Amino acid sequence: MIIPLSYFLLTAALLFSIGLAIVIIKRNAIVVLMGVELMLNAANLNLVAFSRFDPDLTGQFFSLFVIIVAAAEIVVALALVLKVFQHFNTVHLDEIAEMKD
């Protein structure tokens, strides 16, 4: 049984919406990073879903590239969060913005 493309697109849209809501609503830096990762995974799901119709597998290669870039991004972002925590003793974005002034 072949799963229709619309199911993949609906799941990716749901994942992206959840990730976007997390980024907008939450104020913890680590949770915001998890929201960004959800959005990147939704983009990966779209790339792989559309590459089912491409005989060259270009979408899967792009998806692999996005996964590698996301891994590097999360390493750098967590290092920045650790430095911010060492300086401000908090990872809540609202408190950091208030302390900066």
Where are the chain's structural domains? 27-100
pTM of the predicted model as reported, rounded to 2 decimal places = 0.85
pLDDT of 100 reads 63
92: β partners: 28
Hey, which bits of 1-101 come out as E strands? none
* CA-closest candidate to residue 60, choices 70, 72, 69, 51: 51
pLDDT of 40 reads 94
- The CATH classification number of 27-100 equals 1.10.287.3510
Q: How does pLDDT run along the chain (101 residues), one tens digit per residue?
A: 889 999 999 999 999 999 999 999 998 999 999 999 999 999 999 999 999 888 888 889 999 999 999 999 999 999 999 998 998 888 888 888 776 65
* CA-closest candidate to residue 38, choices 62, 63, 60, 21: 21
